[in-house]
């Protein structure tokens, strides 16, 4: 089926296609209004060396970065994503979903603190709460280890919580899925109606197997083979046929025949009883020939 035929079918069955497209548009509109827009705010923080560790650099913490700070940043991010931290943040007023992780392609102990939600103002406030809570959790870790204040690792905010941005990726995905599904179902319904109309009501198109002999005729039982009619019994060469007994023509007995008559001459039969020669007074015993007299000499 080419594109021209598809277009002809769609134009012929417009009363099926158009309602399907209308339902698809309604479904897409429902997805647009029912699926809320999500907003996301993100801040970037970094871990710095303690005041005591930066004395050799005149107190500049950015000159004394250490690889151990990256490990501390990874541990802090895992703690912020734990269930205990989630409960604490909700108690502080955080709404939506939050995530803490090491920044992508980071060359130091940089962390991303992200909050996602449907309320734009609440997302920005929640990101600020998350940033302050991260600083508090870092101090709690070191306090539990009885670290002196001058030797504690510090945290600095590189990028403050940003203005929330709309995240339309998931919404567009739902819209595309709803539109594609509705359009495909409309086409399927259109061609289904076309196929039913071509076949006609109450008609059954036989399967190819039935057309090739799998129909009702093929299922009929095959006639039983009848035994062949018995043919004429083979005539033995030692027994004279019935024709010779009925005709007036007499042939010499088998034992008196020459050797040319076949292998039966080699096996002479028992001599028949000799009948008395007819006298002149008695006529010859001739069988009735029904008006037919045999030729002499035979």
* pTM for the whole structure: 0.56
- DSSP designation for 136: H
Split at pLDDT 50, 70, 90, the class of 122 is very high
Higher-pLDDT residue of 296 and 3 is: 3
**pLDDT tens for each residue of 33-64:** 888 889 999 999 999 988 888 888 888 888 87
Rg of the chain (C-alpha set): 58
Would you mind telling me the total number of residues written for the chain in this entry?
298
Alpha carbon separation from 255 to 101, 262, 271, 274 (Å, rounded): 127, 12, 8, 14
Split at pLDDT 50, 70, 90, the class of 287 is very low
- DSSP designation for 82: S
- Please report the pLDDT score of residue 265 as a whole number: 45
Residue 119 token pair: 């309320």
Residues 273, 255: Cα–Cα separation, whole Å? 13
């Amino acid at each position: 089926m080419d594109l021209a035929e598809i277009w002809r079918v769609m134009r012929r069955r417009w009363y099926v296609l158009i309602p399907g497209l209308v339902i698809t548009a309604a479904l897409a509109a429902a997805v647009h209004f029912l699926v809320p827009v999500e907003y996301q705010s993100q801040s970037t923080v970094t871990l710095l060396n303690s005041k005591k560790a930066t004395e050799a650099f005149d107190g500049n913490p950015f000159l004394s970065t250490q690889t151990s700070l990256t490990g501390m940043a990874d541990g802090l991010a895992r703690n912020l994503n734990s269930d205990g931290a989630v409960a604490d943040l909700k108690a502080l007023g955080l709404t939506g979903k939050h995530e803490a992780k090491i920044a992508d392609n980071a060359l130091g102990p940089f962390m991303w603190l992200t909050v996602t939600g449907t309320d734009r103002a609440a997302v920005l406030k929640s990101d600020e709460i998350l940033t302050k809570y991260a600083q508090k959790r870092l101090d709690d870790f070191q306090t539990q280890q009885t670290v002196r204040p001058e030797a504690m690792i510090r945290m600095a905010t590189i990028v403050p919580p940003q203005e929330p941005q709309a995240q339309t990726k998931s919404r567009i995905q739902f819209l595309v899925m709803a539109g594609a599904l509705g359009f495909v179902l409309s086409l399927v319904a259109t061609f289904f109606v076309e196929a039913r109309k071509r076949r006609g009501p109450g008609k059954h198109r036989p399967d190819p197997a039935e057309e090739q002999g799998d129909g009702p005729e093929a299922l009929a039982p095959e006639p039983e083979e009848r035994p062949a009619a018995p043919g004429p019994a083979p005539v033995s060469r030692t027994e004279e046929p019935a024709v010779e007994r009925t005709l007036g023509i007499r042939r010499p007995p088998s034992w008196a025949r020459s050797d040319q008559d076949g292998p039966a001459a080699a096996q002479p039969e028992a001599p028949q009883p000799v009948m008395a020669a007819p006298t002149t007074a008695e006529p010859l015993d001739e069988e009735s020939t029904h008006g037919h007299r045999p030729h002499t000499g035979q």
